C-alpha cells in the first residue's frame, strides 16, 4: 500500500466530498491498512500494529448548548429592546422580575419567544438573568451573566445600577 499519509492528504483536500464522507473514507483506509499490518504480523513478532478509529464529525449545530440555540449578541439586544418596548424599562417595574403594569407577562413572553424562535421560559430566563444580582451560587457563569447585562444596558432595558449588581 502507498504511504497512507499521502493518501489521507489527498482525501482531505478533495472538494467533492463532504466532511462525513471524508471521515468515512479515511476510517476505511486506516482499517484496511490495519488488516494488512495484522496479516504481516503473522510473519513476525510484535511489529507495532495499531488500529485507529475515526469518528465522523458531529453535524449538530455548534451554536447550541444543551440542545438550545445560543443567543447571538444582536438577537439578544433586539430581544431586550422588544422587552423594553413591551414592559417598559426595568427601573419602572413594580416587582423585581415581573413588570406588574397590567400586561399579561406570561403571554407577552410567549409571543416574544415565538418571534425569536424561543420558548416563553427562555425569554423569562434572559430577563431574570439581567435583572437579578449575580450571587455566589451563580459565580460559575458570571462572565455570561455580565455579558447579558451589558447587552441589556445597551438596549436600554436595565439601568447601570442594575447592570453592576
pLDDT tens-digit readout, 1-28: 456 666 666 656 666 666 666 666 666 6
Cell numbers placing 5: 499519509
Cell numbers placing 62: 455548534
Mean of pLDDT values over 82-94: 93
Mean of pLDDT values over 146-165: 92
φ, ψ at 62 (rounded to 5°): -75, -5
Q: What is the pTM of this model?
A: 0.59
Q: Give the lowest-confidence range in 17-21, 75-79, 83-87, 96-100.
A: 17-21
d(CA 18, CA 106): 44
Amino acid at each position: 500500500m502507498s504511504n497512507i499519509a499521502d493518501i489521507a492528504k489527498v482525501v482531505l483536500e478533495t472538494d467533492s466530498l463532504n466532511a462525513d464522507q471524508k471521515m468515512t473514507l479515511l476510517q476505511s483506509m486506516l482499517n484496511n491498512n490495519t488488516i494488512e499490518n495484522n496479516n504481516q504480523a503473522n510473519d513476525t513478532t510484535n511489529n507495532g500494529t495499531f488500529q485507529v478509529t475515526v469518528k465522523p464529525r458531529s453535524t449538530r449545530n455548534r451554536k447550541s448548548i444543551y440542545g438550545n440555540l445560543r443567543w447571538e449578541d444582536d438577537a439578544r439586544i433586539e430581544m431586550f429592546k422588544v422587552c423594553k418596548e413591551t414592559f417598559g424599562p426595568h427601573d419602572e417595574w413594580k416587582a423585581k422580575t415581573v413588570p406588574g403594569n397590567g400586561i399579561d407577562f406570561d403571554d407577552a413572553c410567549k409571543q416574544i419567544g415565538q418571534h425569536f424562535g424561543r420558548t416563553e421560559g427562555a425569554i423569562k430566563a434572559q430577563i431574570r438573568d439581567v435583572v437579578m444580582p449575580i450571587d455566589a451560587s451563580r459565580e460559575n457563569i458570571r462572565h455570561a451573566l455580565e455579558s447579558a447585562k451589558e447587552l441589556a444596558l445597551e438596549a436600554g432595558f436595565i439601568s447601570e445600577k442594575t447592570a453592576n449588581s
